[in-house]
Amino acid sequence: MHPSPSVIIFTTLSGLGFGLMIFLGLGAPSVTGWVAFWFYLIAYVLAVGGLMASAFHLGHPERALKAFTQWHTSWLSREAVAAVAALLVMGIYAALAVFFGLRIPALGWLGAALSLLTLIATAMIYTQLRTVPRWNHVLTPLHLVSTALAGGALLAGQVTPASVLLLAAGLIQIGHWSVGDTRFAEAGHTLGSATGLGSRGQVRAFEPPHTGPNYLLREMVYVVGRKHALKLRILAAGFGYALPLVLILVPGAGHVLGGIAVISHLLGVFASRWLFFAEAEHVVGLYYGARV
Protein backbone atom coordinates (compact mmCIF):
# COMPACT_ATOMS: atom_id res chain seq x y z
CA MET A 1 0.00 0.00 0.00
CA HIS A 2 1.15 3.53 -0.71
CA PRO A 3 2.65 4.95 2.51
CA SER A 4 0.88 8.30 2.24
CA PRO A 5 2.56 10.86 4.57
CA SER A 6 -0.81 12.23 5.69
CA VAL A 7 -2.01 8.83 6.92
CA ILE A 8 1.33 8.00 8.57
CA ILE A 9 1.36 11.35 10.38
CA PHE A 10 -2.32 10.97 11.33
CA THR A 11 -2.09 7.47 12.79
CA THR A 12 1.15 8.20 14.62
CA LEU A 13 0.27 11.58 16.14
CA SER A 14 -3.38 10.85 16.81
CA GLY A 15 -2.45 7.52 18.37
CA LEU A 16 -0.05 9.28 20.70
CA GLY A 17 -2.56 12.06 21.45
CA PHE A 18 -5.45 9.72 22.26
CA GLY A 19 -3.05 7.48 24.22
CA LEU A 20 -2.16 10.49 26.39
CA MET A 21 -5.87 11.38 26.73
CA ILE A 22 -6.56 7.93 28.13
CA PHE A 23 -4.00 8.41 30.91
CA LEU A 24 -5.17 11.96 31.63
CA GLY A 25 -8.76 10.73 31.78
CA LEU A 26 -7.78 8.01 34.23
CA GLY A 27 -6.13 10.62 36.44
CA ALA A 28 -2.59 9.42 35.83
CA PRO A 29 -1.18 12.00 36.33
CA SER A 30 -3.90 13.72 38.31
CA VAL A 31 -3.26 17.30 37.23
CA THR A 32 -5.05 20.64 37.53
CA GLY A 33 -4.27 24.25 36.66
CA TRP A 34 -1.29 25.19 34.49
CA VAL A 35 0.26 21.73 34.56
CA ALA A 36 -3.01 20.31 33.29
CA PHE A 37 -3.14 23.05 30.63
CA TRP A 38 0.18 21.95 29.13
CA PHE A 39 -0.69 18.27 29.30
CA TYR A 40 -4.04 18.80 27.55
CA LEU A 41 -2.51 21.18 25.03
CA ILE A 42 -0.04 18.48 24.00
CA ALA A 43 -2.79 15.82 23.82
CA TYR A 44 -5.08 18.07 21.76
CA VAL A 45 -2.35 19.27 19.40
CA LEU A 46 -1.36 15.65 18.69
CA ALA A 47 -4.89 14.27 18.36
CA VAL A 48 -6.40 17.16 16.41
CA GLY A 49 -3.23 17.72 14.36
CA GLY A 50 -3.36 14.08 13.35
CA LEU A 51 -7.02 14.33 12.40
CA MET A 52 -6.30 17.45 10.34
CA ALA A 53 -3.46 15.64 8.56
CA SER A 54 -5.84 12.80 7.69
CA ALA A 55 -8.26 15.30 6.15
CA PHE A 56 -5.54 16.28 3.66
CA HIS A 57 -5.70 12.93 1.93
CA LEU A 58 -9.41 13.33 1.21
CA GLY A 59 -10.53 14.25 -2.29
CA HIS A 60 -13.31 16.44 -0.83
CA PRO A 61 -12.53 17.52 2.75
CA GLU A 62 -15.43 19.99 2.64
CA ARG A 63 -17.86 17.06 2.78
CA ALA A 64 -16.17 15.51 5.82
CA LEU A 65 -19.26 16.04 8.01
CA LYS A 66 -21.04 13.33 6.02
CA ALA A 67 -18.51 10.85 7.44
CA PHE A 68 -20.36 10.93 10.78
CA THR A 69 -23.46 9.26 9.35
CA GLN A 70 -22.56 5.62 8.67
CA TRP A 71 -21.31 4.51 12.10
CA HIS A 72 -23.58 1.46 12.05
CA THR A 73 -21.53 -0.19 9.28
CA SER A 74 -18.29 1.73 8.68
CA TRP A 75 -15.27 1.68 11.01
CA LEU A 76 -14.06 4.93 9.43
CA SER A 77 -17.33 6.59 10.37
CA ARG A 78 -17.14 5.07 13.87
CA GLU A 79 -13.66 6.49 14.20
CA ALA A 80 -14.89 9.96 13.29
CA VAL A 81 -17.80 9.78 15.75
CA ALA A 82 -15.66 8.35 18.57
CA ALA A 83 -12.87 10.89 17.98
CA VAL A 84 -15.20 13.89 18.15
CA ALA A 85 -17.03 12.46 21.18
CA ALA A 86 -13.70 11.82 22.95
CA LEU A 87 -12.43 15.31 22.15
CA LEU A 88 -15.67 16.91 23.41
CA VAL A 89 -15.88 14.92 26.65
CA MET A 90 -12.18 15.35 27.38
CA GLY A 91 -12.54 19.04 26.50
CA ILE A 92 -15.11 19.55 29.26
CA TYR A 93 -13.06 17.42 31.66
CA ALA A 94 -9.90 19.37 30.80
CA ALA A 95 -11.57 22.80 31.05
CA LEU A 96 -12.85 22.00 34.55
CA ALA A 97 -9.40 20.74 35.60
CA VAL A 98 -7.50 23.68 34.10
CA PHE A 99 -9.74 26.61 35.03
CA PHE A 100 -11.53 25.41 38.18
CA GLY A 101 -9.06 22.88 39.58
CA LEU A 102 -11.95 20.44 39.53
CA ARG A 103 -11.58 16.82 38.44
CA ILE A 104 -14.71 14.76 37.82
CA PRO A 105 -13.42 11.17 37.68
CA ALA A 106 -16.51 9.74 35.95
CA LEU A 107 -16.15 12.27 33.12
CA GLY A 108 -12.46 11.38 32.82
CA TRP A 109 -13.23 7.68 32.61
CA LEU A 110 -15.82 8.32 29.93
CA GLY A 111 -13.30 10.41 27.98
CA ALA A 112 -10.68 7.68 28.39
CA ALA A 113 -13.13 5.02 27.18
CA LEU A 114 -14.06 7.11 24.13
CA SER A 115 -10.37 7.71 23.40
CA LEU A 116 -9.72 3.96 23.56
CA LEU A 117 -12.72 3.40 21.29
CA THR A 118 -11.20 5.87 18.81
CA LEU A 119 -7.92 3.97 18.80
CA ILE A 120 -9.73 0.66 18.28
CA ALA A 121 -11.87 2.09 15.48
CA THR A 122 -8.77 3.44 13.71
CA ALA A 123 -7.11 0.04 14.00
CA MET A 124 -10.22 -1.74 12.71
CA ILE A 125 -10.21 0.34 9.52
CA TYR A 126 -7.07 -1.58 8.55
CA THR A 127 -7.85 -4.87 10.30
CA GLN A 128 -11.19 -5.31 8.49
CA LEU A 129 -9.60 -5.36 5.02
CA ARG A 130 -9.51 -8.95 3.76
CA THR A 131 -7.79 -7.55 0.69
CA VAL A 132 -4.65 -6.86 2.74
CA PRO A 133 -3.81 -10.16 4.47
CA ARG A 134 -0.93 -8.58 6.43
CA TRP A 135 -3.46 -6.43 8.31
CA ASN A 136 -6.40 -8.79 8.44
CA HIS A 137 -5.79 -10.45 11.82
CA VAL A 138 -6.07 -9.77 15.56
CA LEU A 139 -2.49 -8.58 16.05
CA THR A 140 -3.17 -5.44 14.00
CA PRO A 141 -5.52 -3.77 16.52
CA LEU A 142 -3.34 -5.07 19.37
CA HIS A 143 -0.27 -3.54 17.73
CA LEU A 144 -1.79 -0.16 16.95
CA VAL A 145 -3.58 0.21 20.30
CA SER A 146 -0.68 -1.05 22.45
CA THR A 147 1.73 1.31 20.69
CA ALA A 148 -0.62 4.25 21.24
CA LEU A 149 -1.03 3.32 24.91
CA ALA A 150 2.73 2.96 25.39
CA GLY A 151 3.30 6.37 23.81
CA GLY A 152 0.51 7.87 25.92
CA ALA A 153 2.00 6.45 29.13
CA LEU A 154 5.41 7.77 28.10
CA LEU A 155 4.04 11.27 27.50
CA ALA A 156 2.02 11.12 30.71
CA GLY A 157 5.24 10.36 32.61
CA GLN A 158 3.86 7.13 34.06
CA VAL A 159 7.09 5.18 34.38
CA THR A 160 5.75 1.80 35.52
CA PRO A 161 2.82 1.58 33.05
CA ALA A 162 5.05 2.99 30.29
CA SER A 163 7.76 0.41 30.82
CA VAL A 164 5.27 -2.49 30.90
CA LEU A 165 3.43 -1.13 27.84
CA LEU A 166 6.63 -0.41 25.88
CA LEU A 167 7.79 -3.97 26.47
CA ALA A 168 4.39 -5.42 25.53
CA ALA A 169 3.96 -3.15 22.51
CA GLY A 170 7.49 -3.94 21.33
CA LEU A 171 6.84 -7.68 21.52
CA ILE A 172 3.48 -7.30 19.77
CA GLN A 173 5.21 -5.22 17.08
CA ILE A 174 7.69 -8.03 16.44
CA GLY A 175 4.82 -10.51 16.43
CA HIS A 176 2.90 -8.38 13.95
CA TRP A 177 5.87 -8.38 11.60
CA SER A 178 6.59 -12.10 11.81
CA VAL A 179 2.93 -13.17 11.53
CA GLY A 180 2.36 -10.59 8.79
CA ASP A 181 5.22 -11.93 6.67
CA THR A 182 3.41 -15.19 5.95
CA ARG A 183 -0.18 -13.96 5.91
CA PHE A 184 -0.45 -13.39 2.16
CA ALA A 185 0.67 -16.93 1.34
CA GLU A 186 -1.55 -18.41 4.05
CA ALA A 187 -4.62 -16.57 2.77
CA GLY A 188 -4.22 -18.59 -0.43
CA HIS A 189 -4.70 -15.77 -2.92
CA THR A 190 -2.85 -16.44 -6.16
CA LEU A 191 -3.02 -15.22 -9.72
CA GLY A 192 -4.71 -18.59 -10.36
CA SER A 193 -7.58 -17.86 -7.95
CA ALA A 194 -7.73 -14.21 -8.97
CA THR A 195 -8.29 -15.09 -12.62
CA GLY A 196 -10.02 -18.43 -12.05
CA LEU A 197 -7.54 -19.92 -14.53
CA GLY A 198 -5.33 -21.65 -11.95
CA SER A 199 -6.83 -25.11 -12.51
CA ARG A 200 -5.79 -24.97 -16.16
CA GLY A 201 -2.08 -24.46 -15.62
CA GLN A 202 0.52 -21.96 -14.54
CA VAL A 203 -0.84 -18.42 -14.92
CA ARG A 204 1.51 -15.54 -15.72
CA ALA A 205 0.65 -11.89 -16.24
CA PHE A 206 1.47 -11.39 -19.90
CA GLU A 207 0.48 -7.80 -20.52
CA PRO A 208 -0.99 -5.10 -18.27
CA PRO A 209 -4.13 -3.27 -19.43
CA HIS A 210 -2.24 -0.07 -20.20
CA THR A 211 1.40 0.83 -20.70
CA GLY A 212 1.17 3.67 -18.19
CA PRO A 213 0.59 3.60 -14.44
CA ASN A 214 -2.82 4.04 -12.83
CA TYR A 215 -4.48 4.81 -9.50
CA LEU A 216 -4.53 1.14 -8.48
CA LEU A 217 -0.81 0.69 -9.10
CA ARG A 218 0.11 3.91 -7.31
CA GLU A 219 -2.17 3.32 -4.35
CA MET A 220 -2.12 -0.45 -3.81
CA VAL A 221 0.78 -2.01 -5.64
CA TYR A 222 3.44 0.14 -3.98
CA VAL A 223 6.81 -1.66 -3.89
CA VAL A 224 9.48 1.01 -3.34
CA GLY A 225 11.69 0.71 -0.28
CA ARG A 226 11.12 -2.90 0.72
CA LYS A 227 14.81 -3.67 0.31
CA HIS A 228 15.48 -1.62 3.46
CA ALA A 229 12.65 -3.27 5.35
CA LEU A 230 14.86 -5.21 7.76
CA LYS A 231 17.00 -2.18 8.62
CA LEU A 232 13.87 -0.09 9.14
CA ARG A 233 12.38 -2.78 11.36
CA ILE A 234 15.50 -2.75 13.55
CA LEU A 235 15.39 1.06 13.71
CA ALA A 236 11.65 1.02 14.50
CA ALA A 237 12.02 -1.56 17.27
CA GLY A 238 15.14 0.12 18.67
CA PHE A 239 13.99 3.73 18.66
CA GLY A 240 10.30 3.05 19.12
CA TYR A 241 10.39 0.63 22.01
CA ALA A 242 13.83 -0.52 23.28
CA LEU A 243 15.60 2.85 23.70
CA PRO A 244 12.66 4.64 25.40
CA LEU A 245 12.32 1.65 27.74
CA VAL A 246 15.99 1.85 28.71
CA LEU A 247 15.88 5.64 29.09
CA ILE A 248 12.90 5.78 31.44
CA LEU A 249 14.33 2.98 33.58
CA VAL A 250 17.49 5.02 34.28
CA PRO A 251 17.26 5.83 38.00
CA GLY A 252 16.27 9.43 38.53
CA ALA A 253 15.42 9.95 34.86
CA GLY A 254 14.03 13.47 34.64
CA HIS A 255 12.39 15.55 31.96
CA VAL A 256 15.46 15.53 29.71
CA LEU A 257 15.76 11.76 29.45
CA GLY A 258 11.96 11.52 29.33
CA GLY A 259 11.89 14.01 26.47
CA ILE A 260 14.56 12.08 24.57
CA ALA A 261 12.56 8.90 25.18
CA VAL A 262 9.43 10.52 23.68
CA ILE A 263 11.29 11.80 20.60
CA SER A 264 12.96 8.42 20.11
CA HIS A 265 9.58 6.68 20.44
CA LEU A 266 8.00 9.05 17.94
CA LEU A 267 10.77 8.48 15.38
CA GLY A 268 10.54 4.72 15.85
CA VAL A 269 6.77 4.73 15.45
CA PHE A 270 7.04 6.82 12.27
CA ALA A 271 9.39 4.17 10.84
CA SER A 272 7.09 1.39 12.02
CA ARG A 273 4.05 3.09 10.50
CA TRP A 274 5.83 3.67 7.20
CA LEU A 275 6.57 -0.06 7.08
CA PHE A 276 2.98 -0.83 8.14
CA PHE A 277 1.83 0.64 4.83
CA ALA A 278 4.81 0.02 2.55
CA GLU A 279 5.02 -3.68 3.41
CA ALA A 280 1.27 -4.31 3.18
CA GLU A 281 0.41 -6.14 -0.02
CA HIS A 282 -3.04 -5.72 -1.53
CA VAL A 283 -4.45 -8.70 -3.43
CA VAL A 284 -5.19 -6.52 -6.48
CA GLY A 285 -1.45 -6.65 -7.18
CA LEU A 286 -2.02 -10.24 -8.32
CA TYR A 287 -3.83 -9.00 -11.41
CA TYR A 288 -0.76 -6.94 -12.30
CA GLY A 289 1.65 -9.83 -11.74
CA ALA A 290 3.13 -8.04 -8.74
CA ARG A 291 2.60 -10.66 -6.02
CA VAL A 292 4.72 -13.71 -6.60
3-state secondary structure 128-194: CCCCCCCCCCCHHHHHHHHHHHHHHHHHCCCHHHHHHHHHHHHHHHHHHHHHHHHHHHHHCCCHHHH
287 binds another protein (CB under 8 A): yes
* Part of the chain binding another protein (CB under 8 A), chosen from 86-94, 168-176, 204-212, 262-270: 204-212
Written as one string, the DSSP assignment of 12-79 is HHHHHHHHHHHHHHTTSS---HHHHHHHHHHHHHHHHHHHHHHHTT-S-GGGGGGGGS-TTT-HHHHH
* Part of the chain binding another protein (CB under 8 A), chosen from 39-47, 61-69, 245-253, 256-264: 61-69
Amino acid making up residue 188: G
* Part of the chain binding another protein (CB under 8 A), chosen from 122-130, 157-165, 254-262, 268-276: 122-130
Name the nearest CA neighbour of 119 among 215, 178, 50, 53: 50
Selected binder of another protein within 206, 227, 251, 252 (CB under 8 A): 206
Nearest approach, Cβ of 134 to another protein (angstroms)?
A: 13
Q: Which is nearer to another protein, 83 or 237 (CB)?
A: 83
Residues 222-281 that bind another protein (CB under 8 A): none
Selected binder of another protein within 20, 51, 220, 271 (CB under 8 A): 220
* Part of the chain binding another protein (CB under 8 A), chosen from 151-159, 175-183, 195-203, 246-254: 195-203
Written as one string, the DSSP assignment of 35-51 is HHHHHHHHHHHHHHHHH
Nearest approach, Cβ of 171 to another protein (angstroms)?
A: 28
Q: At what angle do helices 5-25 and 139-155 cross, to 10 degrees?
A: 60
Nearest approach, Cβ of 21 to another protein (angstroms)?
A: 22
Neighbours of 66 (CB within 10 A): 11
Q: Which residues of this protein are in contact with another protein, per CB under 8 A?
A: 1, 57-61, 63-64, 66-67, 69-70, 72-77, 80, 125, 128-132, 187-189, 191, 193-197, 200-210, 212-216, 219-220, 282-284, 287-288
